[in-house]
Amino acid sequence: MHRKKALLILFLSAAWGADFSGTAALDFTRRAVSFGPRPPGSAANQKLQAYIESQLKMLHCQVAFDAFSAQTPVGAVAMRNIIAKFPGQSGEAIVITGHFDTKPMPGRVFVGANDGGSSTGFLLEFARVVNAIPHRADIELVWLDGEEAYGEWSDTNGTYGSRHLAERWAREGALSRIKALINVDMIGDKDLGIVLETNSSPSLRRLVWQTADQLGYGKYFLRAPLAIEDDHLPFLKRGVNALDLIDFDYGPDNAYWHNESDTIDKLSAHSLEVVGNVLDAVVEKLQ
């Protein structure tokens, strides 16, 4: 590691009070993947929910659930988002989201190590970091269910959990408290390249990219623009300052995406740690 980058990370970690461990995030991801395919409503999905809850119980956070029945192309499906709130004092909130479900693929063994697994493991490790640091704003970590579509993606088929939560928070008046919402998806790829997602809030995207540059991670945060429909959109549409962090070039010609090849051996602790260190510093700047 370059000496200047190492010193800057050390300074930010000392100020923030905790280190994000890519190794721990990968271990959490491996545990999530061990449950097998995890489409909404499945036994494996419910087992993973119980595992997430068991990890959160060891931390100083308030855990809440957003349970609902989603109308899908295969009928009504029970889904549930998990919300871990680390209270602050300012009345404002910083939200980090990511999905834990895997795409329903009948007859295929799709374990979604990167697509569903990496965001799950990342959030569990980020919860440990947040638990150890002081913060003025509330920090809310959200494991979203039902991000994946049943068959072909559309405006009404996919992002079930984020659409439901955004609507609920809008109804409750909670969206106005959110200073920033950052969604993470497919961020464990060994060959990490976070796209410059053009639907996202420009100011928040600029803050994250500048922070990555400051930490010496600029090469992992690409400059080529690409519009992605993901779990940040339901919040963006309601005026929330929101950003999507996603690596959408997974394997040769994106061959591992939504494929049985999306397995744990395609991921690296380093990639998870890059994103963790960047968001660690970004959250500090947003306080």
Query: The whole model's pTM is what?
Result: 0.94
CA 281 to chain centre: 16
Q: For residue 198, what pLDDT band results from cuts at 50, 70 and 90?
A: very high
Per-residue model confidence as pLDDT tens digits over 36-80? 999 999 999 999 999 999 999 999 999 999 999 999 999 999 999
Which residues make beta-bridge pairs with 143?
82, 98
**Residue 11 sits in which domain range?**
3-286
CB 186 within 8 Å of CB 259: no
Euclidean distance between CA atoms 276 and 108, whole angstroms: 31
What's the CATH number where 92 sits?
Answer: 3.40.630.10
Q: According to the model, what pLDDT value does residue 16 have?
A: 45
pLDDT at 12 over 90: no
Which tokens is 215 given? Answer: 């930490």
pLDDT tier at 277 (50, 70, 90 boundaries)? very high
Q: How many domains does the chain have?
A: 1
How confident is the model over 124-167, as pLDDT tens digits? 999 999 999 889 999 999 999 999 999 999 999 999 999 999 99
Mean pLDDT of the chain: 94
HEC readout, the chain: CCHHHHHHHHHHHHHHCCCCCHHHHHHHHHHHHCCCCCCCCCHHHHHHHHHHHHHHCCCCCEEEEEEEEEEECCEEEEEEEEEEEECCCCCCEEEEEEECCCCCCCCCCCCCHHHHHHHHHHHHHHHHHHHCCCCCCEEEEEEECCCCCCCCCECCECCHHHHHHHHHHHHHCCHHHEEEEEEEECCCECCCCEEEECCCCHHHHHHHHHHHHHCCCHHHEEEEEECCCCCCHHHHCCCCCEEEEECCCCCHHHCCCCCCCCCHHHECHHHHHHHHHHHHHHHHHHC
3-state secondary structure 52-102: HHHHHCCCCCEEEEEEEEEEECCEEEEEEEEEEEECCCCCCEEEEEEECCC
User: In this predicted structure, what is the pLDDT of residue 18?
Assistant: 64
Look up residue 51 and give its amino acid.
Answer: Y
Give the pLDDT confidence score for residue 14 in this predicted structure: 42
pLDDT digits (tens, 9 = 90+) for 213-242: 999 999 999 999 999 999 999 999 999 999
For the chain, what percent of residues have pLDDT higher than 90? 92
